[in-house]
Structure 1
Amino acid sequence: MGSRVMHYCIQSLLSERLDINDPQFFLGGIAPDANKPPGGPKIESHFLLTGADGIVKSDLRAFRQKYMSEQQLPFYLGYYCHLISDEVWVEDIYYPKIKYLPQPEKKRAQESYYRDFVRLNGMLIDHYGLVLQKLDVAPVDIDEIDYRMLPMLVDDLYGDFERKDETMDQQLELLTFDEVIVSLERSVAVCLEHMR
């Protein structure tokens, strides 16, 4: 549910704490958004299940069993962290601010939310001093995404960094910078817990 830059930010913080300096870790961190078909539902790429209570969550256990039982490849670790981070984001931000709003208020809130993503890019890049790595896409064995879409996601991420200053003077509409930082930092902490 977070933006590309938010996921890249989380991967950057994790790479420092875990001493993983592999571009495949960063690539895995954005890969779940290369869902099939392009722009389609994220059910498969995010391993989503709907519980009896109607709450949708990633099946982290299924992902671990399928891709992390024998090997800890950086790409899969990054992918796993994306799924965890989305869970944290949904709990911290999406559910409290948007999920339960009535229409058309919900639609307006979602529009503000996505505009805030763009405004936050430059703020987060500067706040964390993010440096964009060269992310070369090499094939990885994974069924749930269309790997051919990854170069487009990487190009979009590069564009986010190139345009980071364009919206820096615009006020956030729905989100606050502080709550975003708290959620990103909590994502890092929860990812670290899952990897122990």
Structure 2
Amino acid sequence: MGYYTHLIADDLWLQGFYVPWLKNRIESDKAVAEAYYNDFSLLNGKLLAYYGYKEEFRKSLIIPPGIPDIEEVPKENIQKLLPYVLEDMNYEVDAINEKMKVFSLEQIIGYIETSIDKGVVYIEHLLN
């Protein structure tokens, strides 16, 4: 179900952001691609601050209740990824106030919350 919701979020990203305008901007102006990646870097801190779950999330990654072995990703690979995820959670306080160049925080929050809503609807449909 996690991968399914990821695909739903990807579809929303492609249809709502990438295909209608972002792809053209990146192809027309290479500086937009750099700004795009920088916005994502800034979003780590902005979203952790906005949702207020930084420490709870960090603790859940440091002391997981048990990382399951799944067919697609061996447990060891997940454990190797965790330090990178934790590193992405480190940010300068100034980054929270730094203005993004491609997106607004409101757009990204709307995207996240719409993705969640769509994911819930599709999963509920599968389970019923």
TM-score by length of 1: 0.52
Work out whether residues 13 and 111 of structure 2, in 8 Å CA contact, stay in contact via their aligned partners in 1. yes
The separation in 2 between residues aligned to 1:146 and 1:164, in whole angstroms, is: 33
Partner of residue 79, structure 1: 3
One of 76, 89, 94 as aligned partner of 2:18 = 94
| Aligned counterpart in structure 2 of residue 162 of structure 1, from 90, 93, 101 | 90
Identity of aligned residues (%): 24
Gaps of 5+ in 1: 1-76
2:43 maps to which residue?
120
- How far does residue 91 in structure 1 lie from its aligned partner after superposition? 1.8
Q: Distance in 1 between the 2:21 and 2:36 partners?
A: 9
SS at match of 2:70: coil
Q: Which protein, 1 or 2, shows the higher relative CO under an 8 Å CA cutoff with sep ≥ 6? A: 2
Aligned equivalents of 1:80 and 1:147: distance in 2?
A: 20
Q: Deviations over 1:158-177 (max 9, x none)?
A: 11223363622321011111
Q: Distance in 1 between matches of 2:78 and 2:112?
A: 23
Structure 2: tracts of 5 or more residues without a match: none
Instruction: Tell me by how many angstroms 1:146 deviates.
Output: 6.9
Q: Deviation at 1:127?
A: 1.0
Number of positions where the alignment pairs a residue of Structure 1 with one of Structure 2: 117
TM-score (norm 2): 0.76
RMSD over equivalenced CA pairs, Å: 2.3
Q: Which amino acid aligns with 1:141?
A: E
The CA deviation at 1:103 is 3.5
Question: 1:98 touches 1:110 (CA, 8 Å); kept in 2?
Answer: no
